[in-house]
A = this chain, B = another copy of it.
Amino acid sequence: MGTSMRAALAFAGGSGQLADIDSSARPELPIKKNGKAKKPKQLQDELTGAAERIAEVQEALWAEASGGSKRSLLLVLQGIDTAGKGGTIEHVVSACGPIGVEYTAFKRPTKTELRYDFLWRIRRKLPPPGVVGIFDRSHYEDVLVARVHDLVPSDVLDARYDSINAFERELVDAGTTVLKCLLHISYDTQRERLLSRLEDPRKHWKFKVADLDERARWADYQAAFQAMLAKCDTDVAPWFVVPADSKAYRNWAVGELLRETLETMSPQYPPGDLDVPALVKRLAPPH
């Protein structure tokens, strides 16, 4: 029940500068018998093992809530376009659920959503007790795309960081463990992935010409990520930065973060108060 991946990828563990984090690094890779670190492609078995453990603990969390526990887990995934939020979810999260798991992708806000405070639509999708909630993008878009595109005045933007910190503290106080992961890729990796989408007609539906306009704002996005990490990496809801140039490493690392976090929560099956012998007797076949 170690927490070595959490320690290795905690934003607070570094210099506090996203630019100092190597997106091709692979901290905590398991060691092979010959003493060398496993290559990312050799991580599939480890990921499968972690996935089974995640499914096991997730079921216990779901069961625990039936006994009255208010605990839940919220996994927040952020990352620039092509960083691999969808792929991570497909490979890591699909190991458990769908019972007790709720997935929400936050797209561009609708007209209705824009009439409310930015946290309104987020609150409606929070995981209830026992549930693992997965946010594919989140309230952080409101300090990322909103900052890059100057969607709100700077004083409104500044206030949002404080609102987010207060919101997450409220969640944690209410029993939700918050696991925030930024998938971190390089400018070159994004280029390769956009090219590969263009080369595969089955991926054209995911491609928007506007994606290239966003790519032109790369430096602005990095600055927005840096501000988000610096301002919202709190004790109660810390940020983890996952080097994500390697898909295999990224999937394995998020799996480990999720496994460690669930194991630290250590959910317990509710104590039974059944009169088992009497119930078994009632089930005896008729003579």
Partner pick for A89 among B98, B188, B202, CB 8 A cutoff? B98
- Interface set, chain A 269-287, CB cutoff 8 A to B: 269-270, 272, 274, 276, 279-280, 282-283, 285
CA of A285 to CA of B195 in the docked complex: distance in angstroms?
A: 11
B205 adjacent to A63 (CB under 8 Å): yes
Q: Report the minimal beta-carbon distance from A38 to chain B, rounded to whole angstroms.
A: 25
Judge if A99 is at the interface, Cβ distance under 8 Å: yes
Residue of B nearest to A195 (CB): B283
Interface string of A108-138 (1 = CB under 8 A from B): 0000000000000000000000000010100
Interface string of A182-201 (1 = CB under 8 A from B): 00000010010011001001
A89 adjacent to B94 (CB under 8 Å): no
| Interface SS of A by simple majority | helix
Judge if A67 is at the interface, Cβ distance under 8 Å: yes
Q: Report the minimal beta-carbon distance from A44 to chain B, rounded to whole angstroms.
A: 15
- Interface set, chain A 196-229, CB cutoff 8 A to B: 198, 201-202, 204-207, 209, 212
Pick the most buried of A212, A270, A274: most chain B CB atoms within 10 A of its CB: A274
With a cutoff of 8 Å between Cβ atoms, the chain B residues found around residue A103 in the complex are: 97-99, 101
Partner pick for A272 among B67, B204, B269, CB 8 A cutoff? B204
Partner pick for A204 among B105, B188, B274, CB 8 A cutoff? B274
Judge if A93 is at the interface, Cβ distance under 8 Å: yes
What is the total number of residues of chain A having a CB less than 8 Å from a CB of chain B? Answer: 41
In the complex, besides A201-B269, A207-B272, 18 extra interface pairs with C-beta distance below 8 angstroms are: A63-B202, A67-B205, A90-B99, A94-B94, A94-B95, A94-B97, A97-B103, A99-B103, A99-B105, A188-B285, A191-B285, A198-B280, A201-B272, A204-B269, A204-B270, A204-B274, A205-B269, A212-B282
With a cutoff of 8 Å between Cβ atoms, the chain B residues found around residue A90 in the complex are: 98-99
With a cutoff of 8 Å between Cβ atoms, the chain B residues found around residue A191 in the complex are: 283, 285
Residue of B nearest to A285 (CB): B191
B98 adjacent to A93 (CB under 8 Å): yes
Q: Given known contacts A94-B97, A212-B283, is B198 in contact with A269 (CB within 8 Å)?
A: no
Q: Report the minimal beta-carbon distance from A97 to chain B, rounded to whole angstroms.
A: 6
Interface string of A75-108 (1 = CB under 8 A from B): 0000000000010011001111111010101000
B99 adjacent to A212 (CB under 8 Å): no
